[in-house]
């Protein structure tokens, strides 16, 4: 660490040459750089920006002074920030030299909070919506890393974009580790972060984007990305992060992507183990509409893994939307849940998509692939609303293709097409090993709605338990590719192919958790969908080797139709016994009773409080109980539906 006070003393006694020599011995010429310790939360200027000292006129090292020092030091420097609130107060007229306003990061740099993300706070003002600048500006190809801090109250009241942080110039990079971006605002796009140029990169790990906003009443302003906007050819990896309460709201333009908008050609975003909750995209503009409550992809590549998208809202396309407006767009979704999102309905055309939308309105193509996922409880509330769950469509020459494999579509609702809707001469909607069940439409097509143009293919899938005035399960003419089970075909046209069963109840259980991370419908033991697809037939055990939960397919003598495979192999259960405060308990007696056969098994917890019972029969009821001298425990009823079942038994006071 630089001894700034000692170096300052040397200069004060006119030992400048010795000071320079001493400092040059402390600082590496190349490599990892230096550590600069900030000593004040005040926003003060460096007394001599061109020397190698971090000191204002009172020998304090401020964040602004440290940023300036890092620019002239070699290597990637680390600025350490003690707990406190660091508020910008120096004013400067829209400059990029770090003289005032936002902190201009023009060199490779790490800003590390020495507390938690909640206790090290960098803010543009004392309250939201009152600042005249954003908080950080990353430019000149700099690689900036922020760690353990909150970035808040940035406010940029022009159409330039980037309320909290803006990246400019090619190849600039931003890494966020355990960072909260809170209540930043842009009158244009990118409420929290704006990625403006080619080759830029964003890496976010354990980040929280909350209550950021984009859009305004400023004439001519755009409105993309309440949290993040990518304008062109930028890449992002987002891991274990949360997007909550972000919004795009405009009275002068259409809005896109309540949380994230990818409008830049060539942008490539990968989102893993994250959550999108209660974000919104709303336009009150007379000639506009609010599109995509959570994520909007119009020109890029979007990959989503193990992520929950729930409770988001837009005028059109409540959850995730992929729309080819002139450039090819691709979205791939794996092991994720899209639930309880909603769209108002209306707008430039009737279809609205409460949960997931894929479409082309140009000569370019849009493709969405969904694998091992659940789309449930999404709604379109408008009187002319279509597609409560899923919509795929084209209004031009561009192809709109949606491929769903091992997907559950359940409990969605709209005036028409409660579950799924496909329209347009260039649109294709493919279902393989899907369960489309318990969806509701007031008018036509409770489950699958195929319009007069386009093609919907059903393969190895179940359509059942739908509700509507006409066509509770199908409306229009979906085409069979074999081995489907349709509870009825009233209101539609369906030509059965090999392995299809129609007009028969598939005997599905209620929507729930049947092992794994995703909810769905498991067939009952008496269902005729069990073992109904021979091995090596129609993809059973060849193209498709797991079900919608990631469990083995086939599990029995053949594959089940639909998203969930009925597991027959004995499975283990593992658990942990803990105190009311969550501390592991050793030597606790655990008892497992098969309620059907009366079989009793016993175990004793290990030093880590864990226990295991093996070879439990799937779909049979068990009761789990624990006994210790100090704590009482509630019994737990258990049914095993597949491998990987775990539980925690918590003591009662």
Structural domains of the chain, with CATH? 571-650 (2.60.40.10)
Tell me: pLDDT of 12 over 60: no
Mean pLDDT over residues 245-252, rounded? 96
Mean pLDDT over residues 257-272, rounded? 94
Any idea what DSSP says for residue 71? H
Sign of CA dihedral 532, 538, 544, 545: positive
Query: What would the DSSP string read from start to end of 521-570?
Result: -PBPTT-TTTT-B-TTSTTBTTTB-B-TTS-BSS-SSSBPSSS-----S-
Phi/psi of residue 476, nearest 5 degrees? 95, -150
Tell me: pLDDT of 231 over 50: yes
Contact present, 37 and 80 (Cβ < 8 Å):
yes
> Tokens in use for 106?
């023009």
Sign of CA dihedral 511, 501, 418, 305: positive
The pLDDT tens digits of the residues spanning 433-453 come to 999 999 999 999 999 999 999
What pLDDT does residue 94 have?
79
* Distance between CA atoms of residues 480 and 409, nearest Å: 18
> Tokens in use for 607?
């030093």
What lies within 8 Å, CB to CB, of 513 at 6+ separation is 519
Q: How many helices (H) and strands (E) does the chain have?
A: 3, 60
What pLDDT does residue 220 have?
79
pLDDT band of residue 351 (cuts 50, 70, 90) is low
What pLDDT does residue 294 have?
98
Pick the residue with more confidence: 643 or 317? 317
| Residue 398 CA to its chain's centroid (Å) | 27
> Tokens in use for 76?
């990637």
* Distance between CA atoms of residues 317 and 312, nearest Å: 10
Mean pLDDT over residues 317-335, rounded? 95
Tell me: pLDDT of 10 over 70: no
pLDDT, mean over the chain: 92
Q: Which residue has the tokens 């056969």?
A: 597
Least confident of 114-123, 279-288, 476-485: 279-288
What pLDDT does residue 350 have?
53
For residue 4, give the H/E element and its range: helix 4-12
Tell me: pLDDT of 357 over 50: yes
Tell me: pLDDT of 19 over 50: no
| Angle value at C-alpha 290, between 288 and 291, nearest 5 degrees | 120
Tell me: pLDDT of 630 over 60: yes
* Distance between CA atoms of residues 602 and 600, nearest Å: 7
Beta-carbon count within 10 A of 126 CB: 11
The pLDDT tens digits of the residues spanning 400-417 come to 999 999 999 999 999 999
pLDDT band of residue 9 (cuts 50, 70, 90) is very low
Phi/psi of residue 619, nearest 5 degrees? 65, 25
Pick the residue with more confidence: 623 or 11? 623
Tell me: pLDDT of 70 over 80: yes
pLDDT band of residue 345 (cuts 50, 70, 90) is confident
Does residue 65 come out as left (phi exceeding 0), alpha (psi in the -120 to 50 range) or beta?
alpha
* Distance between CA atoms of residues 311 and 277, nearest Å: 5
Q: Report the percentage of the chain scoring pLDDT > 90.
A: 84
What pLDDT does residue 68 have?
95
What lies within 8 Å, CB to CB, of 183 at 6+ separation is 128, 129, 152, 153, 210, 211, 212, 213
Beta-carbon count within 10 A of 539 CB: 20
Tell me: pLDDT of 36 over 70: yes
The pLDDT tens digits of the residues spanning 214-229 come to 998 888 788 999 999 9
The distance in angstroms from the start CA to the end CA of the chain is 50
Tell me: pLDDT of 346 over 70: no
What pLDDT does residue 352 have?
86
* Distance between CA atoms of residues 348 and 333, nearest Å: 27
Query: What would the DSSP string read from start to end of 407-428?
Result: EEEES-EESB-SSEEEESTTEE
* Distance between CA atoms of residues 329 and 325, nearest Å: 9
> Tokens in use for 168?
């400019």
Q: Report the percentage of the chain scoring pLDDT > 70.
A: 94
The pLDDT tens digits of the residues spanning 557-611 come to 999 999 999 998 898 999 999 999 999 999 999 999 999 999 999 999 999 999 9
Pick the residue with more confidence: 351 or 505? 505
For residue 403, give the H/E element and its range: strand 400-410
Q: Which of 175, 174, 172, 176 is nearest to 139 (CA)?
A: 172
* Distance between CA atoms of residues 45 and 56, nearest Å: 6
């Amino acid at each position: 660490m630089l001894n700034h006070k000692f170096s300052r003393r040397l200069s004060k006694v006119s030992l400048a040459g010795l000071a320079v020599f001493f400092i040059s011995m402390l600082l590496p010429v190349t490599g990892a750089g230096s550590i600069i310790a900030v000593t004040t939360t005040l926003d003060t200027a460096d007394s001599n920006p061109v020397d190698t000292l971090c000191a204002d006129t009172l020998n304090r090292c401020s964040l602004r002074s440290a940023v300036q020092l890092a620019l002239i030091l070699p290597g990637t420097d680390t600025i350490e920030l003690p707990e406190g609130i660091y508020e910008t107060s120096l004013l400067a007229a829209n400059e990029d030299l770090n003289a005032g306003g936002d902190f201009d990061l023009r060199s490779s740099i790490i800003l590390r909070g020495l507390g938690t993300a909640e206790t090290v706070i960098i803010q543009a003002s004392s309250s939201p919506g009152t600042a005249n600048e954003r908080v950080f500006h990353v430019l000149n190809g700099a690689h900036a890393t922020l760690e353990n801090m909150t970035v808040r109250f940035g406010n940029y009241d022009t159409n330039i974009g980037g309320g909290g942080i803006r990246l400019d110039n090619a190849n600039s990079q931003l890494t966020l580790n355990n960072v909260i971006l809170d209540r930043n605002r842009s009158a244009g796009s990118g409420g929290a972060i704006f990625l403006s140029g080619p080759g830029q990169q964003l890496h976010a790990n354990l980040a929280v984007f909350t209550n950021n906003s984009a859009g305004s009443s400023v004439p001519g302003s755009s409105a993309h990305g309440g949290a993040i906007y990518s304008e062109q050819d930028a890449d992002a990896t987002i891991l274990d992060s949360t997007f909550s309460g972000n919004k795009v709201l405009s009275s002068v333009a259409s809005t896109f992507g309540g949380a994230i908008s990818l409008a830049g050609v060539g942008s490539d975003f990968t989102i893993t183990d994250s959550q999108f909750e209660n974000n919104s995209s709303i336009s009150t503009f007379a000639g506009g509409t609010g599109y995509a409550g959570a994520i909007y992809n119009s020109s890029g590549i979007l990959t989503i893994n193990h992520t929950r998208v729930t409770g988001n809202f837009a005028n059109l396309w409540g959850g995730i939307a992929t729309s080819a407006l002139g450039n090819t767009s691709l979205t791939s979704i794996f092991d994720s849940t899209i639930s309880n999102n909603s769209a108002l309905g209306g707008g430039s055309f009737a279809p609205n998509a409460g949960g997931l939308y894929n479409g082309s309105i140009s000569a370019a193509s849009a493709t969405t692939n969904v694998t091992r996922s659940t789309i449930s409880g999404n709604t379109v509330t408008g009187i002319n609303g279509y597609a409560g769950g899923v919509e795929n469509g084209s209004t031009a020459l561009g192809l709109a293709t949606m491929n769903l494999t091992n997907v559950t579509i359940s409990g969605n609702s709209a005036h028409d097409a409660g579950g799924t809707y496909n329209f347009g001469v260039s649109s294709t909607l493919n279902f393989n090993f899907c369960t489309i069940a318990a969806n509701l439409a007031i008018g036509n097509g409770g489950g699958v709605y195929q319009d007069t143009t386009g093609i919907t293919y059903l393969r190895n899938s179940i359509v059942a338990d739908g509700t509507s005035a006409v066509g509770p399960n199908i409306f229009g003419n979906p085409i069979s590719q074999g081995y489907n089970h349709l509870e009825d075909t009233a209101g539609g046209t369906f030509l059965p192919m090999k392995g299809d069963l129609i007009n028969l109840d598939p005997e599905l259980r209620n929507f729930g958790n049947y092992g794994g991370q995703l909810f769905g419908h498991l067939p009952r033991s008496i269902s005729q969908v069990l073992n109904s697809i021979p091995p090596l037939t129609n993809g059973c055990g060849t193209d498709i080797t797991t079900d919608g939960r990631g469990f083995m397919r086939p599990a029995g003598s053949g594959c089940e139709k639909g998203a969930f495979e009925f597991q027959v192999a004995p499975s283990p259960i593992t658990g942990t016994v803990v105190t009311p405060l969550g501390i592991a308990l050793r030597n606790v007696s655990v008892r497992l009773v098969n309620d059907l056969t009366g079989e009793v098994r016993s175990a004793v917890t290990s030093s880590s409080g864990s226990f295991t019972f093996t070879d439990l029969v799937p779909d049979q009821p068990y009761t789990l109980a624990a006994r210790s001298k100090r704590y009482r425990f509630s019994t737990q009823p258990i049914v095993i539906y597949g491998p990987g079942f775990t539980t925690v038994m918590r003591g009662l006071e």
